[in-house]
Structures are given as structure tokens and as C-alpha cells.
Amino acid sequence: MGKVNRLKLAVLVSGSGSNLQAIIDACNSADYPAEIVLVFSNQPDAKGLDRARAAGIEAKSLAHKGYPGGREAYDHAVSELIAQSGADLVVLAGYLRLVSESFVKRWEGRLINIHPSLLPSFKGLHAHEQTIAAGVKYSGCTVHFVVPEMDAGPIIAQAVVPVLADDDAHSLGQRILRQEHRIYPQVIRWIAENRVVVGDDGRVTVRDSHSPDFAQINPVTRQG
């Protein structure tokens, strides 16, 4: 049997890279249909780069502060690094930098992001603080295709967690992060298996998937 072609990933990070690690771990499974060919960071000291090097993955960085030519020139340079790596899919995994419209257009349909809220609610930074301030009882994370408008692309998958009465941004964030580590590798698998379809209306369906049949109430109180 010949070698199975695996989807080639470029993963962009800015910090610790815990989602990157979840993807690395998934890629280490023999039946996983993707592999990471590049990890890139806009922060040369990002821990995510160390994770990549420890796994034997090519890791590159380019500081964005003071880059000649500004955002467009910077994003063009990043795009060139991704293209040179041969990546099929660009995965934003805690990449804390808004990408330019030209970058999005170049990788349109091949660029995904994970956001720590149930989009379209609580876009942008400080999603956990926004969630707690709003008093909602559920939050979660969303994997979506990236479009020029921030946190607005077609939603591929979401995971839901309860917001507890004593939550702060850290505790809620940690609960959500555990679900991020579950759904991001799963979505990448679906894309690699050509199961993700974006309709003309911008809604995503996943072939051969099953919708959950559940309802939960938060908070739950004891009777009597």
C-alpha cells in the first residue's frame, strides 16, 4: 500500500501554543490525515516555537513590530513563508494579530481560526471577560473559516461549556481551552477528509456527521 497523502498544515501562533500541541499530538497518530509542515510566530520568543522544534517541525518567526512597509508588507512576507512550506491549510492557533485583507484573500477557503466564545457573540479580545460581564450561562469555542471581517467567517464547529457562578476569566478560559484542544484537531481531520462543505448561504455542513440531541439548563437546582 502506498503512502497516504496527508493535508499539509501551517500553524500560526503567538504564545504558549497549547492548541498547537493538541494538533501535534493528533498528527502523531498513524491514522491522522494531516501533518504540520510549518509553525510560524510573530513573537520570536513564543513558547509555541519551542513546542514545534521539540517535535522536529520547522519553526520560523518574524517580528512584526517596526516591520518595514507595515501590515501589508509583513503579511506578504508571512504568506511567502507559508507558500514555501507547501502548506494546504493555514491554521490560526492563538495568533494574536489581525491579518490583512490581502492575506485573507490569498488563503481564502484554506484559512481557519479558533475563537474562545460561541460566535457571533463576544468577538475580539477579552472574550471571557465579555462573557462573564454579560451574565450568560453558557460559553464555549468556535472554529470558523476566516474572512476579512473579524471573527465573522462561516462556522464549522462549536463546543459548549457552562459558565459557573464563581467563574472568573481564568477559570472559564481553562474550561473552554480543554474543549478547544478537542475540536480543533477534529475540524482539521474533517477538512483533510473533504467532509466540510460551505453552502452558497455561507453555512457549513459536515458530511457524515451527527447532530447532538440534548438540552441543558444552567444552573441546575435541587427540588425540595
Catalytic residues: 115
- Measuring CA to CA, which residue among 196, 115, 192, 111 is closest to residue 159? 115
What is the dihedral sign for C-alpha 161, 122, 76, 63?
negative
Three cell numbers, residue 213: 440531541
Count the neighbouring beta carbons within 10 Å of the beta carbon of residue 148: 15
Helix (H, G, I), strand (E, B) or coil at 108: coil
Element housing 188 (H / E) = helix 169-192
Cβ–Cβ under 8 Å, residues 150 and 142? no
How far are the Cα atoms of 15, 50, 176 from residue 39, in angstroms, in the given order?
12, 10, 23
Residues forming beta bridges with residue 40, ordered by sequence position = 12, 60
Nearest alpha-carbon partner for 79 in 65, 59, 99: 99
Contact by Cβ (8 Å): 58, 52: yes
- Do 23 and 184 contact (CB within 8 A), yes or no? yes
